[in-house]
Chain A
Amino acid sequence: MQIVRSFRRRPLTRLILAVGGGYATTSLIAMMLAGVFPPPASEAVPGGALVGLALYPVLIICGFMVKELRHLLGGIAFIAILLGLIVMGCLQS
């Protein structure tokens, strides 16, 4: 709860979490997209990275839109689980 209160009060904490959390999420998304895209990898890797670069500023903005830290963390977890399921589904098919 201390972290949550700190997050609400201190914009710098919010900034660091939005930038760091956003980058981690972006990397995760780019990695999963690169894995999901059909071969060749020379197409999939830059494709995933390009999508990631477009999402990153939006994720930072989202980090400032949410009021509660738990909402942000929940969003990141939701994205991770969703993408994980997609990747698993693609691999099985």
Chain B
Amino acid sequence: MTAPSAKASGGLRQSMTWLHTWVGLWFCWLLFAVFLTGTLAVFEEPITHWMTPEHHAEEASATTPSAQSHLDYAKRLTVARDYLAANHAESRVWSIWPGDRISGGALVAWARDERTGEFGRHQLDPASGRPLAEDDEEAQARETLGGHHFVDFHYELHAGTLGLWTVAIATMAMLVTLISGVIIHKRIFKDFFTFRVGKGQRSWLDAHNAVAVLTLPFQLMIAYTGLAFYPTIYIPAANLQGAISTGAADERTWTGTPAPLPDLGPFGRRASDLLAQPIHAVMIQNPGDSSMRIRVFGSEEPDAGQRRISRSLGIVTFDGANGQILRVQRPGEGDGPATTVGSVMDSLHTVDFGGWPVKWLYFLSGLAGTAMMGTGAILFMVKRRDRHGNEFGRATARVYRLIEALNIAAIAGLGIASIAFLWSNRLIPAHLVGREAWELRAFFGLWLMAFAHAFLRPVGRAWIEQLAFTAVLCLGLPLLNLLTTGDHLGAQIVRGDWESAGVELVAIAFGFGAAWAGRTLHRKAQDTPPRRRRHRPTLAIEGTK
């Protein structure tokens, strides 16, 4: 990158252009992947629903009126308390989930292992308190990451802390690129209404500008709120002022003086009355000790997210030894402004408000943002096909070829990998041990193969072939579902299973989009004179020349 040195010492717009171009280029492939998977993650639950066909009937019955029986919370809390006292008396923290108030569901108890500090999950029979075999509920369900794969990938790339930091750095680069992009635009709003079809580089630039301006506020918001999930991890210096322990005020040191375990039912009833909410969970700290604390968490109404962005559960904290109320945090009350702001940021990022219309708005905005990154990546190469930038000296041609391959693999290849992830869910045997890992291997394996294909095949052919393959996989998904489970789009719509139908309809829409793009490229390649193609083997995606 020797050429931009002169530009960098020029005016503001030149230095911002350099920053926008190069930071954008080196991060666009990763950001494209993060944005596309993040966009798909908006529909995490429908994807998970589609990927666990064994649960379809069970979930449908859970919403029928007959299942909406009132739970006997007091009995369930007593059953769980007795189980934990008999089996986990040494644990300093117990948690009890009495069950979902809509469907009833299982009674679940958690106890922290004092040696490892980890929580163990115990599912109990609400009537007898007998622990259910771990596989009782899920024996018929296949192991799958479901839509959570896209959630995990988009913020940590399935790579733990390293992935978390990598995505954070890319997100910060995105913020820098967005701001510098605004600065370099002389006529940002005029450009938004300008789209010149069939003008090669100019068309790509117009498309890039249009989707960028259209979704600029959304992208600034989604990038910043993504970083705001773990602010003190990214800026640990803020924490140097003192060690922080959230909720430390409520924790008490173990005294060693025994105290009888109280009946949890009255605590639940009092908390429920105070909060005007049903019980979501009960946490007991230092059970059986005079320092015992009982925290009862309220449960929000199903449509609470329609009414407010900042949500927090109501919590009532009791002194377990004498039943005295120590603290009442009503629903919607935060601990303070920073906590409230953090809660709003979380809700804004995870679309935890507004219901399906807002989810669709996020999905479409996310697709537009993804398109902005894709068009930006393509634009870089389209610009340089006619006018070699010679930015990398003698290696320029090889670096350009690598960039072309990365463009194909990141854009078309990721599409293949994502839809192949859904295919793998149906093709991998349902009861194969470790099938979650095999689904992931299918995703990353196909993506790697797409990169190899993009590097080995001529650029134009690689684009067409990968887009065609994406189209085949997307359009074939409903057929695959029919062949492997017997379920089909018509049946899903008739029984009102819009989550499954939505996944398949969106796959079909993507399939038509990929087919259209591949066909357009194929036609353009056919129209290009053979001699010209031989001299310029990297044409293809430009298409309009």
Contact = CB atoms under 8 A, between A and B. Distances in A.
B73 to A, nearest CB: 31
Contacts of B345: 50
Given A52-B231, A57-B176, A64 B339 contact: no
B179 A52 contact: no
A65 B12 CA distance: 6
A64 B180 CA distance: 10
A91 interface: no
A43 B19 contact: no
A49 B241 contact: no
A27 B176 contact: no
A42 B244 contact: yes
A41 B241 contact: yes
Interface in B16-34: 16, 18-19, 22-23
A90 interface: no
Given A11-B1, A56-B172, A61-B179, A43 B238 contact: no
B267 to A, nearest CB: 26
Main secondary structure of the interface of B (DSSP, over half): helix
Q: Categorize the interface residue count of chain B.
A: 35 or more
Interface string A26-54: 11101101110000111111111110111
A48 B176 CA distance: 20
Given A11-B1, A14-B8, A53-B228, A34 B241 contact: yes
Contacts of B228: 50, 53
Contacts of B529: none
A69 B59 CA distance: 63
A58 interface: yes
B438 interface: no
A42 B5 CA distance: 45
Interface bin, chain A: 35 or more
Nearest to A54: B224
Nearest to A11: B8
B127 interface: no
Given A50-B342, A56-B172, A8 B237 contact: no
B108 to A, nearest CB: 28
Interface of A: 8-12, 14-15, 26-28, 30-31, 33-35, 40-50, 52-54, 56-58, 60-61, 64-65, 67
Given A11-B22, A42-B248, A61-B180, 7 more contacts: A10-B5, A30-B235, A33-B238, A34-B238, A48-B235, A49-B232, A50-B231
